[in-house]
Amino acid sequence: TNCLTMTWRLFKNLSEEQQRYEKQLIFEHPVFVKLCQQLLRDARRMTRGDLVFSLHAVVHLGVPQNTLLVQTLVRVCQEKLNQLDNRCISVLATTLAGMEKDKNVSALQAGLQLLVEQRASSIRDIFILQNLMKCLGKDAPVFLKKKLEMAVLREIDGLTFPNALRMFLALAAMNYCSLPILNACSKKIQENVHDAPFRQLILILEACHTLQYRNVKLLSALADYVNSTAYLWDKRQIILFLSACETLGFQPRELLDIFTEKVTEDPEFLNLKNLLIVLRVYSRLNYVPRVQKHLFFETLHSCLNKCLPQISSTELLKAVYSLGILGYLPRHALDVLLQKDSKDELRLSDEFKEQNSVMLRCVKTCMELDSPSFTKPAFVLTENLSSLVSLNLRKAQEALIELLGGENMFRQNVRLPYKYHIDFEIRMDSVRKKVLPVAATDDHPDSCVQRLAFLFAPMSAFCLGTTHPQGKLAMKKRHLNKLGYHVILIQNKKFQEMTNEDAVEFLKGKIYSEDAFSFPEATVQDNN
């Protein structure tokens, strides 16, 4: 056992290429064959520790799972399962996690799961607990996950930084969001973030995404650390970090500004893959740099033009769509895209036809509404979709009725040109002092009335922890401004949490506030 274990320890530290070469030498060595034969003969006489460590070593050295040696060790482990101590259980769980399912392995896994269930409350070693969580994985029954959670919480006060990192990832592997454990781990990680290697930072962000854990303080601490040490990281590492933030809807503003400078100073690293990631990140997070914005977008446009000979139709559509969301129209790339559209290459060349169709429609809308030549129409054709509102808008409807005095003072479920939809529309006089009945203003040109559009959006439509709208919602707001609407964005979840009286006062403030009538420019210049 000692010989096999030491061989594995030396072997695992080699590079992949070295491992292939050494593995061949090990398997061809006559002493290794004798060692395996002796292990096969003595399996049933071995101590529990020697047994599980031997199985762990031979499996990880690459001895085929269907060999008599591996299958014998698995069966003997099954026979001696109740004799294993907690450390042996942990090692066995690690071994089984790396094996393919077969009859003997499945039987041993089932027995191991029952044993962990019985002993979970008595395990005091947090390292063993987190290893069991990681190895049992997402397929473990919920009651077992709960037992392991309670065992961890009993030992949480002794949590170290390395254990906090591993525990975070173990919960992700088990796909179990335990807020008390995650919060404790987050606090420890924030205190020691400077000790975390870059790969661990990415794994933490990925775990947050898997667990749908949105801790703004944790994410801000990670972003601040990468921001303060940005000079140490390769540009591709920063792209990887920003991409992981984007999947969480988290906007690290300072880091995005620093990365903008790196792009404008040296854009050569932006190959097609990196360019598409950068465009996706900036567009979804609705981030226009505070300085060098024109240079930044021109640089991205130039990189996109260089990629045109090798870019696929779908990738080109995604790139132009991302820039369109930010209010930037890349002329040359647009021409190429429209040529492909005229040949039906965009709809027929990809399995995501519906998604491509939506993106293409959005691009064409941007071409029209974001064009410098577009002027606000005197009338906007609208249509009421239904007099009924969805359940999650019922509270808003009732608040507006109480505030304005009746349903005739507003419209609901309004459909606009370009397939846009608004939840509620209110019309006010030109001096913005009085709300007007809808019917009385139908024949008046828009110059005589002020139109308010209420959009009740989910929290996921905003950057995490802020009221800053993400790309699609920001683009919709920009386009509604172009059509003559003053847009009021409301986070529906927070609105639903208000009392009825507070909801009425909140809407009153939004309707009569001067901020409701500011017209932000619908261009790259002031998009943010």
Query: Which of 73, 99, 122 is the C-terminal boundary of a domain?
Result: 122
How far apart, in Å, are the Cα atoms of 307 and each of 59, 311, 319, 322, 326? 45, 6, 11, 16, 20
Where in the sequence is the domain holding 450, given as residue range(s)?
384-512
Query: Which of 103, 122, 141 is the C-terminal boundary of a domain?
Result: 122
d(CA 197, CA 386): 55
Residue 520 scores a pLDDT above 50: no
Determine contact, residues 315/349, Cβ cutoff 8 Å.
no
DSSP-derived secondary structure for 140-190: S-HHHHHHHHHHHHHTGGG--HHHHHHHHHHHHHHT---HHHHHHHHHHHH
Nearest residue to 476 via CA among 501, 509, 454: 454
How far apart, in Å, are the Cα atoms of 192 and each of 61, 167, 185, 469? 35, 15, 11, 32
pLDDT tens for each residue of 135-175: 888 888 999 999 999 999 998 988 899 999 999 999 999 99
Strands (E), 254-363: none
In a domain, 425, yes or no: yes
DSSP-derived secondary structure for 44-79: GGS-HHHHHHHHHHHHHHT--TTSHHHHHHHHHHHH
Query: Which of 122, 138, 165 is the C-terminal boundary of a domain?
Result: 122
pLDDT tens for each residue of 414-443: 999 999 999 999 998 877 788 888 877 766
Cβ neighbour number for residue 318 with a 10 Å cutoff: 19
pLDDT tens for each residue of 225-247: 999 998 889 999 999 999 999 99
In a domain, 61, yes or no: yes
pLDDT at 271 (0 to 100): 92
In a domain, 401, yes or no: yes
pLDDT at 344 (0 to 100): 67
pLDDT at 528 (0 to 100): 32
Q: How many domains does the chain have?
A: 2
In a domain, 227, yes or no: no
**Side chain identity at 487, as an amino acid letter?**
V
Residue 33 scores a pLDDT above 50: yes
Judged by average pLDDT, the poorest of 24-38, 82-96, 312-326, 423-437 is 423-437
In a domain, 253, yes or no: no
d(CA 84, CA 215): 39
pLDDT tier for residue 445 given thresholds of 50, 70 and 90: low
In a domain, 262, yes or no: no
In a domain, 225, yes or no: no
pLDDT tens for each residue of 282-338: 999 999 988 888 999 999 999 999 999 889 888 999 999 999 999 999 999 999 888
pLDDT at 526 (0 to 100): 42
Q: Identify the residue whose tokens are 């988290």.
A: 250
In a domain, 497, yes or no: yes
